[in-house]
Amino acid sequence: MTRGKVLVTGGAGFIGSHLADCFVGKGWRVTAFDNLSNGDLKNLSGLVKDERFEFVKGDLKNQAAAYRAVKGVGLVFHLAANPEVRVEKTSSSVHFEENLVATFNLLEAMRRSRAAKTLVLASTSTVYGEASVIPTPEDYGPLVPISVYGASKLGCEALACSYAYTFGIRVLIVRLANVVGSRSGHGVVVDFIRKLRDNPRRLEILGDGTQVKSYLHVDDCVDAFLHLTDRFIKSAGRVDMYNVGAFDQIGVGQIATIVAEEMKLRGVKFVFTGGVDGGRGWLGDVKNMHLSIRKLLDSGWKPRYDSEQAVRLAARALLKEIGR
C-alpha cells in the first residue's frame, strides 16, 4: 500500500489501538477517532508524541463529527462499535446507535468526501448466527443472527454494500472470530482473570460447559487486516469479504484451565451455571463457532497462533496489565 493518511474509528479501543500502532510504525499518518465510551487513551500512550499520529475525540453518532473525521483521508478502518454481545450488559438501543447509526453517518461522510473512498469494515462471526455448516464459509446463508449485536453488525455490512454499489465506495468486510490479547477490556479471558483475582479458589463459568469457539490473537488480527487491505486496494473489486480466525476451536473449560495455569493457581473449582436457552452462556450466545478461513488461506495469509496459543498469550499480557 502507498503510504498516506488513514482514519481508524474506535482507534482508542482494543483492536483499533493495535491497528494504529502498526500503521504509524509503517510510516503512515494516522488519525484515531474515538468517543471513549469503550476505548481508553492509555491504549495510545505510545503514539501521542509521534508527529504522524493524531487523536480526535468525537462521536460518529454526530454527523458533523463524522464529516470532519474523514476530511483529507483516503482509507478508513471502521472499528467503532459497541462490542458487548450480552444483552444484560447493554441495551438494544445502544447497539442500534453505536453500530448502525454511527456506520450510516460514516458512510454518508465518505459519500460526500472527495478522498475517502475505501472502507475496511470490522464485522463479526455473530452475523452467521447458529450456522449449520461448521467451519462456516463466507457464502453461507441465510444469515440469521441470534443476538442484537450480530444483527446490528449484519446491518452495518448491508449498509456498506449498498453504498458501494450506489455511491462508488469500495468496501472490504472482515468477519472476525473472537479476538484476544493485550488491551482487551471485555471477553472470556478478561472475565476469568477478574473472577479468579477476586476468588482464586472458585470460578463461575457461564453456560453448560459445552461451548466451543475459535480465538484469534490480536497480532494476527492486525496482520490480516493489513494483508487483506493491501490485496483489496490492488484489486478491481467493489466489495469483498473475508472470515479471519484460527484453524481450530477451544472449549470454555479449557480456557478456564489456561487462565488458572497462567495465574499459577492450583485446585480451582470450576462451577458451570448451566446456562440459559439450551446451555448458552447468555441469550444470543452462539455455542459452536468456527469460521472457515479457506478463502483467507488462498489469499496467501495464515494465522501464526492457534486458539489455545492465542488465549494463553492473551492471558499473560492481560495479567501484566490488570494484575494477578
What is d(CA 38, CA 14) in angstroms, rounded to the nearest whole number?
9
What is the structure's pLDDT at 19? 98
The amino acid that residue 23 corresponds to is F
**Any idea what the CATH number is for the domain that residue 281 is in?**
3.90.25.10
Confidence at 311, pLDDT banded by 50, 70, 90: very high
Same domain, 91 and 189: no
Same domain, 26 and 49: yes
Confidence at 48, pLDDT banded by 50, 70, 90: confident
Domain span holding position 232 = 5-179+215-244
Q: What b/e readout covers 273-293, taking b as 16+ CB neighbours within 10 angstroms?
A: eebeeebbbbebbbbebbbbb
Measured CA to CA in angstroms, residue 85 lies from 12, 35, 318 at distances of 20, 19, 21
Same domain, 81 and 144: yes
Torsion on CA atoms 144, 148, 149, 154, rounded to nearest 10: 40
Nearest to 212 by CA among 285, 299, 156, 104: 285
Same domain, 141 and 199: no
* pTM exceeds 0.85: yes
What is d(CA 48, CA 68) in angstroms, rounded to the nearest whole number?
20
What is d(CA 191, CA 280) in angstroms, rounded to the nearest whole number?
16
Same domain, 138 and 192: no
What is the structure's pLDDT at 41? 96
Percent of the chain with pLDDT over 90: 90
Residue 274 maps to a domain: yes
Beta-sheet strands, E only, within 136-268: 170-176, 178-180, 202-205, 212-213, 215-217, 239-244, 250-251
What is the structure's pLDDT at 93? 83
If DSSP codes are grouped into helix, strand and coil, which group holds residue 11?
A: coil
Domain count across the chain: 2
Same domain, 281 and 219: no
221-272 pLDDT, tens digit each: 999 999 999 999 999 899 999 999 999 999 999 999 999 999 999 999 999 9
22 and 222 Cβ atoms separated by less than 8 Å: yes
Q: Which three cell numbers stand for residue 288?
A: 459452536
190-199 pLDDT, tens digit each: 999 999 999 9
Same domain, 63 and 190: no
If DSSP codes are grouped into helix, strand and coil, which group holds residue 5?
A: strand
Least confident among 87-96, 145-154, 252-261: 87-96
Mean pLDDT of the chain: 95
243 and 290 Cβ atoms separated by less than 8 Å: no
Same domain, 282 and 146: no
Provide the sign of the torsion angle of the four alpha carbons 90, 91, 94, 96, taken in this order: positive
Residue 297 maps to a domain: no
